[in-house]
Every structure is written in C-alpha cells, then in structure tokens.
Structure 1
Amino acid sequence: MKGLPPELITCDLNLCRPCSLSKSRHSPLVMPSRLIVNNLGDVVVADLMGPFPISFDKKSYELIIQDHHSLLATLYPLQQKSKAPHAIIEWINKFDNLTNFKVKQLRTDSTGKFTSKLFAETLKARGIVHETTISYKHHKAGEIETTNWTVAEAERSMLIDLGIHVEMWPYAFQHEIWVFNRILHAKNTKTPYEMVTGRKPDLLPLQTFGCKAYVHNMMHWKDLTPKGKELFFLGIAEDSKGWIFCDSKKRSLIRSASAIFDELSGLPDTRQTPEVCDIQINHLLDPSMIQEVESQDQSLKVMTLTAALDGDSLRAYHEAMKSEEASNWKKAMEEELEAITKMGV
C-alpha cells in the first residue's frame, strides 16, 4: 500500500516458509536451447503413447520418433513398453544408412523404459547425447507433443466417421503419419519427405482410409468364380510397393498391388439408427388423417372400458349396478357414451 509511513510497515519482507509451501504455483524455467538445429539428425525426439485397446495384431502402444529439423515422423506399434529402446536403435540405424547425416542428440522423457543401462551404453558408444525431459514439463518436448496430438485427433476422427472397430487403430495411425510426412508444415517450405529424401512425394498410392476395394485374386484358377475379393483399404505398405487390405470376414490382412478402389463407399455402418415412421410429413396435417387417428384413440378407450367390465370382479351390467360403486360406474359409462356420440363412432 502506498502512502503509509515507513515506521508503520512491520511485515517481514523475507521469504515466508508457510506461504511458500501452501501457495506454491507452477512457474517453469525457460532456458534457451543448448543446441542449434541446422541439419537432419541434430535433434531427434521420441515419445511413447498408450496403452490403447489391444489391436488387430496384438499391439497396445505406439512410439513416434521425429526428426526435429525436417519434422519427419515414424510410427512403431509395440506390444510392450520395454520394446521402445530397441525400436529407437532400429530407427537410428535406418536413418544413418539412408541419409548422409548422423543422429547427434536424442530427446525422450525420463521414465524407466528410456533410462536403462544398456540403452544408455548403446547411445554413448555411438556418440549420441541423450537428453531427458523433466516430469510434467511437456513444453520441453513441445514439437513431438503437437505431432502426437495432431495424429491422434485425425486417427480418432477417421475411426469414428467410418465406424471401423477400434482394434484397427495402428493402421489409422500409420495412414495419418504417411500423410503427415508428405504435406507442408508451418516452419518449413518443403515436406518432411522431401527434406530427407531429396525427392518430391508421390501421392498416387494415396486412397481414402477405410474405403471399399476390389482386390485381384492372384490364385484364381477357375472360370466361374470371382476374380477379385471385396476388402477394405487400411493403408500403404512401407516395406513393399503395394497396399494393405483387411478381410473383415476372415479377420486377416492381405497385401496387394492390384486393386480397384471405390472411395465413395466404405464399411457398412454398424451404428444404430433410429427407426423412421412410415407416415409422411406432408400427411400429418391432413384432416382425414387427424380424424382417423382420433377414431382409433376412441376405439381404444372403448376396448379398455370393455376389458374392465369383463374382469373377474364384474362380469355383467347387472353385477355392476348391484355393487357399492354402482353410481360411479353409471356416471362413467354415461360420460363415455356421450363422448362416443360426439365423435360419431
């Protein structure tokens, strides 16, 4: 407060221990980057997501590895979290073999799967600096967190829109990663695929995920049997020049390079839809329709009254008139007869 004489200010301006403990607020440390990223492999980031529902091929986790400079992302579906270090080493070997650059720094979180002694020794032998992020500091790996969010949102939308079973999630992820690597992103003027390979991407193999496909049957030997199979498209094979299809009846995967795609139709929608009334909307205000509905309602009331009179307690009119509620019964019947007369039934 301003204006008070200094001799009236008695509070201690030193750090207050109870206040520091009870009023703690998250104030992250922002430090400049220790490594300037100019080339491929300068910084590679890996992140593990899951567990997901067990997939068609028994996978529960997905590991995304991304080069920070080009934004090229690679997906590894995994059965167990412990397989993540092996997948990273496999990716590094492929990267060193297919490019003229070496991985200099690897950035992961600090969980046990990435801090094993064997994994640390392997990275050290290659001269790779391993940097781990602090728990709950997702901004330290913001690039790959953004990629994970983008890919996961697209994958979830595709599965929901097409009505595909959730066990197909690895193939939806793979399809989205394939597209992600072949489109432009804000920080670069080239696609990730072009920055790594030096070639412009070819989008000819791209098809609508989950669309119907008529795959040629290479084992066709008989003249009177179909020469093709009706399957649905699951993605582009990375290790061969072809597509991946699924036979939902046999629950099997098929790879083929000969197919005709029907991108305007997909899997039959198994989601429940409400039943539609047979009465057309333009007939709802028709006077004859209204009179018919009212007549049916009145007939139903008469049937209900008859059923009540035919019960076990009162089998005939004279029994009703001899009962204690005779006056009430007579009044009710008169009201019903009057209503029937007015309706013209």
Structure 2
Amino acid sequence: MADELTPALAESFAKIALGHVSREYPNSLAHMFDSAADAATPSQLHPIFYGSLDWHSCVHGYWMLARLMNRFPDLPSASRIVALFDAQLTADKVAGECAYFERPSSRGYERPYGWGWLLKLASELSAVRDIRWFETLKPLADIIAGRFTDFLPIATYPIRVGTHFNTAFALRLAADYADSVADGELTALLTATAERWYGGDAACPAWGEPSGDEFLSSALIEAECMRRLMTPDAFRPWFERFLPDIEGGRPGNLFVPATVTDRSDGKIAHLDGLNISRAWCWRALASSLAEHDPRHGMMIDAADRHLAAGLGHVDSDYMGEHWLASFAVLALEA
C-alpha cells in the first residue's frame, strides 16, 4: 500500500478526476426554485462546477487537479488539466457561478462544506505558477469568504455530525485560504470561532462513530481543526483534555476502520471516505507530537490501517469515484 503521494499515484488520481469533473450526469442537484424560471440543467446553473455528481465534489475535484499539478509539474495529464482550467476558469463562467450565489435563496447554498472546498481550491490556485486562474476565480472566493464572515458570528452552535454539515471541517479548509491570501481578519474570525465552539471540549467519547452515513470523524476532524488554528503551545494541552486516553487505545472505535458493505450505495460508500479522512487526521495529529511519544506511533499505526482499508477503493464505483481521491490526497500528504 502506498503511504505517500507518488507521481504514478498522482497520475491515476488525475485521470479519475478528469473523467468526472465535466461529467454532467448523473447529478444530485440541491437547488432552490424561486419560480418556474429557475428550472435549468446543472451546467446552466453552474457553468464551471456542474460535474462530479454534485457541486461540492466538482469543486474539490478541481482542487485535487490543481494540487497534483503543483506537486508534479511534469505529470502526464498536466496538459489536459491546463486545457480544462483554460476552458472552464474564465471570467464569464465565474460570473455565472457568482450569480448563483448572489440569489437571495442561495444564502445557505453549500454551507459549510462547499464553502470550505471552494476556498481550498482558491488557495491552491494561488500557488499555481500561472496566477491568472486564481485571479479569475477570486470574485467567487470573495463571495464565499464573505459568507463565512457573515455566518460565523451568528452561528451559536457548531455542527458535529460526520457529514457535509460539519463545521470543524469547513473551518479547517478555510484556514488554508486565509493564510494563502494573508487575510488576517478571516484567520482571526476562524480561530475565535473554533475556540468558542470547541475550546471547552474535554474527554470526547466519540460514542456515535461510525454511523452509517459518515465520511468524517466528528472527533478527529475537530481535533485537526484545532491543531490547524491554535498555536502549538495552546493546542497540546487542549488535545490532552480532548482525547486523554489515546495511549490506552481509547476511544477504541477511533482506531478501528469502518466496514463498507456496498460501494454502489452512495451513503454506505461514505464510509470509505471516513476511513481515508481518519487517516488524514491521525497523520496530521501525530505530527503535533514528538516521535518518542508513545501516542505518536499508535496514531501512525491507526492512520495506516485506515488508509489501507480505504485507498484501494477510490475508483470501485462512481458513488465513491467522484470524490474519494481528493480525500486520499489529503491523507497521503498529511
């Protein structure tokens, strides 16, 4: 099993994404109809992100392609990625995506998961050698950053489920964007919100994991969010309080990969994503500990088990193929 992102694996992931980001159907469309005039196809509603079964998966498919091109400039598929970005990341098409978000009925569209991924994509594009794609997408990134700015102060409570509504995951991705564009105000808001929502958490039981529809560990993604946003000196004591029994292998369910029984079922297939995203979080969290810390080895072993359980299934069925490789890249690069 691969434990790092190699050029060969990157090329295989690129081919997967290139096969679905422009595939319009099947499509799971979450669309508010204000009137009959709003009846339209996915590509009419979303000029760029109409593929990959749904809007957010298409966005993080584009993120993965940008990431792979940044990591491996000589990737065999690089020319196809450039051609795709040139064709799709245009001012007119970005304006169309912006127009959709500017509808009053789209105030909460893709909140918060899609918001986080759009900013993650913009962050990656800011590191591409040709900055024009980032500059073209920037108006949409500005809208989404504004959504975070408007929403977080009125969001009294976090959402802890292991699905698209999880707020810790969105904060974690948005933090990368805020850093990449040096938006200190957004970073401060994300940090303050994370501390307000999660700062007092302790002795996390993780008793509800896994459920049958999760692709995120609500416990581990919260910890990863705090690792990303807190200073190391502040994070370590928080982590000690939050998961105090890791050395004893508890909560035990966090160390055991989920069982996936039917990868053609979109909800059950989420559990492959849970295994892969847990691997990402375990690896990232282990990096906050000294290698001689006994928890470090336990966390790396847990990451390896979860990655082994999920990595071989990123293209088993379209229900997973349209999104799992993006999470595999997160895990392999943690």
Bigger CA radius of gyration: 1
- Higher strand proportion (structure 1 or 2): 1
Specify which structure has the bigger relative contact order, considering alpha-carbon pairs within 8 angstroms and separated by 6 or more residues: 2
TM-score by length of structure 2 reads: 0.22
- Higher helix proportion (structure 1 or 2): 2
TM-score by length of structure 1 reads: 0.22
